[in-house]
Amino acid sequence: MTLGYEPGLYAFSHGNVVEKKIPALIVWSHEGTNVSVEGSWDNWTSREPMQKVGKDFTIMKVLPCGVYQLKFLVDGKWRFTAEMPAVYDERGQVSNVLDVQEYVPENLDGIAAFDPPRSPDSSYGDDSMPAPEDFSKEPPLLPPHLQLTLLNGPCPLDGPNQGNLSRPPHVILNHTYVDRGNSLSSVMTLGLTHRFRSKFVTVVLILFIPPVTARTFWQFAAAAFDFADEFLMSMSAASSGGRSSYFVPIFW
């Protein structure tokens, strides 16, 4: 059920009063063979048949501006459509609502007249524009917050709280940190921190590896990471609380 409104207005004279009426197209787009419509525009005194156009039934009503109620009589049964607003009357019956309003065309030229004036350049502050070389700078190789890993900080070797380390920031969780030393033949250190509920577990693997190619080196690092992940998950389930660190030297 759809409504269409025509922009034209019709004027009807009643003595010295000119009443404007607006054409409103009423469409029944559901099933049915014989469809009629009644409405409150004439106090429900007439029943008008709707004309079939294609698969729809239509009727054009010329009405004054206002809100009206209407009902459809489809094959002898009173029907209403969910495509229009509906109300219940005092007897609990459902009627559709037709809101007829005068068409007001958009005045695009009038809208353009309300455009605000352009702000002066001085209102944007005294900061100078960035130089061209500022746009050519490379981004940092590593975000600074990812450098707060256990491998980059000193480990307390004495004191009563040597086993209580600071709480790690959440941004370093589930990141693998690799320290290769000065060459591919030196000691390689892997660090990985996981969170298990309220506990933090860090695994540090120290690997002494022979001279290898770069490709073999990273294959070796990937295998070590898989081992660290399995080891860490088992330690997370077994730890009793707080934060634990496990240093596991591996010789190959």
Residue-wise pLDDT tens digits, 41-75: 999 999 999 999 888 999 999 998 889 999 999 99
What CATH architecture applies to the domain 3-100?
Sandwich (2.60)
Domain with CATH 2.60.40.10 in the chain: 3-100
User: What pLDDT, in 10s, does the model give residues 124-179?
Assistant: 765 667 777 777 777 767 667 666 666 666 665 555 555 566 777 777 787 777 77
More confident residue, 72 or 189: 72
Contact at 8 Å (CB) between 153 and 133? Answer: no
Highest mean pLDDT among 12-16, 118-122, 153-157, 184-188: 118-122
| Pairwise CA distance, residues 234 & 232, whole Å | 5
Which is it for the CA torsion 35, 36, 40, 41, positive or negative? positive
Beta strands in 9-112 (DSSP E): 10-14, 17-28, 35-39, 48-49, 51-53, 56-64, 66-74, 77-79, 86-88, 94-100
pTM exceeds 0.75 for this model: no
| Contact indicator for 62, 47 with CB cutoff of 8 Å | no
